[in-house]
Amino acid sequence: MIAIPFYNLIVIPGVHFYFNQEYYHNLTNEEPMVGENVVFLLTRDGQDRKNLTEESFYPIGVTGEIDQIDDDGNVSIITHDCVDLLNLRIEDGNILLEMRERTEIDDVDLSQRQERFTTLRAALLEFVQKYPWGMVARTYIMHWKTLEDMAVGMGAYLSVSVEEKYELLEANKRSERLKILERFIYEFLEQQRVSEEAAEAQKESNEKRFREDALQKQISYLQKQLDELHPESGSDLDRFEKQIAESGMNEVAEKEAKKVLLRMKQEGEHGHEYGMLYDYLDFVTGLVWKKEDIVPVDLTEAREILEADHYGLSKVKERIIQQLAVMTLQKKQSGSILLFTGAPGTGKTSIGKSIAEALHRKYTRISLGGVRDEAEIRGHRRTYVGAMPGRIMEGIRRSGASNPVVVLDEIDKLSKDYAGDPSSALLEVLDPEQNNSFTDHYMNVPYDLSDVLFICTANTTDHIPEPLLNRMEIISFQGYTAIEKFEIAKRHLLPAAMKETGIRSRQLKITDETIRAIISEYTSEAGVRSLRKHLNTLCRAAAVKLVQGERKSVTVSPKRLREFLDQKPIHHDEVTAPKRPGVVNGLAWTAGGGDTLFIEALFVQGSGKTIITGKLGDVMKESVQIAVSLVKSMYPEHAEQFEKQDLHIHVPSGAVPKDGPSAGITLAAAIASLVTGKSVDSLVAMTGEISLQGRIMPVGGLPEKLMAAMRAGIQTVFIPQENEEDLRDVAPEIRQALRIIPVTEFTDQFLQKIKQ
């Protein structure tokens, strides 16, 4: 018996199969002979005969017989029965097996079979008549006499899985087999109907799209003609479409931009949302999305630029050079976010311009002073009327680059209210782990800020939230000494003021003594902002004299300063004659630099209360209580004074707010001086926080405080022992001018050192 493996056929008992002789040979490796018995074997997949194994076959086959071979070599096979396959094996490419006949139950009478066949044939004829090839198909259909013939004839067109073909062989009742065959054919008809409907819908959709494309092309052509007639009013849509294509924006941003552009097309120029959509596209296409090329950093050139633009600040410049060196090695933006802190006018903002110049990058400044709405940082959602992007993205767009140097100015002046906390929004902006996908609410798409060099500035860190402060490295800008101010005035401020007023160098001469007089008598600041204003005022006054023709050149001496500046010299707190007991010189740090603090203590008739005046803050009031308790414990013999009299402590100037713990040692010295009746040397000043045990603890702002001491004529300054390391940040001329003594405890020995 010849084994015929099959996979793509539907084989059932009682039907004819026709093969050409070559195909029969490929299936069996045998030549056909009339009367020869065959068995059809259903395979699990469509492998070639040479790759078949014993596991490749299902366990049921169909027997048959070759009943005819015509003159053209076509082989006709009629099938007989289903059989169970036993002991199937393959030897030398031949399939050997044993078979056992399966019981078949014919439970459908002839009339019922014929009725079901007729119904299905009618449905099939109705289906084919819609097609040009329907007449040919009709001839084939009319030759089929049974439902089995129909299924076998359509086998190549039916979507029947190999499992369903085996299900057909497993059915040993004729009724079950007919039901399965009907299902195959009805599923085919339904699939064809669905495919036709889908094709028709696709055709309608394509026709609509093609029509729309044709109309759009006509509109574009007509618009192009109009643009040629009026080139000054080119189509916004075409311009935006071109800018989106050339921008290099990321996939999410491009998708959103195209979506907005489509809405803009549908809205039309007279639509009520056209302006809002236009503003959005104008903003996102105005951003630089492409990565900028990395420009190697020349550290020598960077040093020269920093030195040329700013005098002094050696420690700050060195830290900036370190940052640039790290960026050079990493070949990308890296390192800490820098926070420049210091008094106004010390060069925090302007040094950002120098950094941008050294890096050959664009520069932009974003002022955060007074910002209290989170939307100012992250932008407003476009659902709101008048929505705008946040200051960060607006600054990036204004810079015209994707990697500018951005100075976030006055970051300590941020505040919060019901509209949110803007400092929280800055956390993502300044975090290198997050800002590569910063999403502004207005844009609603991510933008990469990882290449941006952010530099923050603040006068003090007291009001900066801790989470934000942790993301930054603090670099303190110390106040300028008189010598540094003189050099800055000569090198930068005076030439800039003369250029601004149009005065040439030969027309105005300001002596060195005049500049020093302005610094010492007309300014009182850590920075040089007031000095710049005075030099500008002086140049403007000189310009009036030059224009009026009073003289061809003007010379300004110290004696003529009142004439040009039109104001009196400011009053500096200076040490004077020996003071009485209870008066001590303290030192304070303010946002404008260092200042002297004269603390006065006095016993007055009363009942043992402590009176505090001078607009002191809570921390400083606590320092007063600590100082009082400490002095009481040191001098118990004077307890009666504290019980029968009121202790009045005053800190001039009374209208200026004062706070902080650094006046603790000064308060204790003033009370001790009052109690013992021993005056404190008027040429002595001190600063330090004090504890109840008399321990003197470190304070901040030491360089500015020592500068104020030198300006006031102080000769000796007592500082906490733990602040001795901070003397490295103090200018050499200040250290040379003052006798600086570190102390650790408030004791009688200390009081002996400071007495008159």
Which residues carry out catalysis?
662, 705
At 546, the amino acid letter reads: L
The neighbour count for residue 568, using CB atoms within 10 Å, is 9
Residue 270 tokens, joined? 């007279």
Backbone angles phi, psi at 48, to 5 degrees: -65, 160
The CA-CA-CA angle for residues 422, 427, 431, to 5°, reads: 155
Q: Please tell me the distance from the alpha carbon of residue 631 to that of residue 675, in angstroms, as a whole number.
A: 8
473 three-class SS = strand
Q: Please tell me the distance from the alpha carbon of residue 415 to that of residue 426, in angstroms, as a whole number.
A: 12
- Is 671 in contact with 625 (CB distance < 8 Å)? no
Q: Please tell me the distance from the alpha carbon of residue 713 to that of residue 683, in angstroms, as a whole number.
A: 7
Report in angstroms the alpha-carbon separations of 525 from 267, 328, 412, 482, 572.
59, 37, 20, 10, 11
- Is 261 in contact with 237 (CB distance < 8 Å)? yes
- Is 27 in contact with 4 (CB distance < 8 Å)? yes
Q: Please tell me the distance from the alpha carbon of residue 355 to that of residue 517, in angstroms, as a whole number.
A: 33
Report in angstroms the alpha-carbon separations of 482 from 315, 519, 586, 731.
18, 7, 21, 10
Q: At which residue do the structure tokens 């050409």 appear?
A: 20
Q: Which residues of 56-65 are buried (b: 16+ CB within 10 A; e: fewer)?
A: bbbebbbbbe
Listing DSSP states for 267-292 in one string gives H-TTSTTHHHHHHHHHHHHHS--SPP
Q: Please tell me the distance from the alpha carbon of residue 683 to that of residue 574, in angstroms, as a whole number.
A: 10
At 225, the amino acid letter reads: Q
Q: Please tell me the distance from the alpha carbon of residue 541 to that of residue 191, in angstroms, as a whole number.
A: 96
List of residues 6+ apart from 585 with CB closer than 8 A: 575, 596, 597, 598, 666, 680, 682, 684, 685, 686, 712, 714
- Is 165 in contact with 10 (CB distance < 8 Å)? yes
Report in angstroms the alpha-carbon separations of 340 from 64, 357, 469, 582.
96, 18, 12, 39
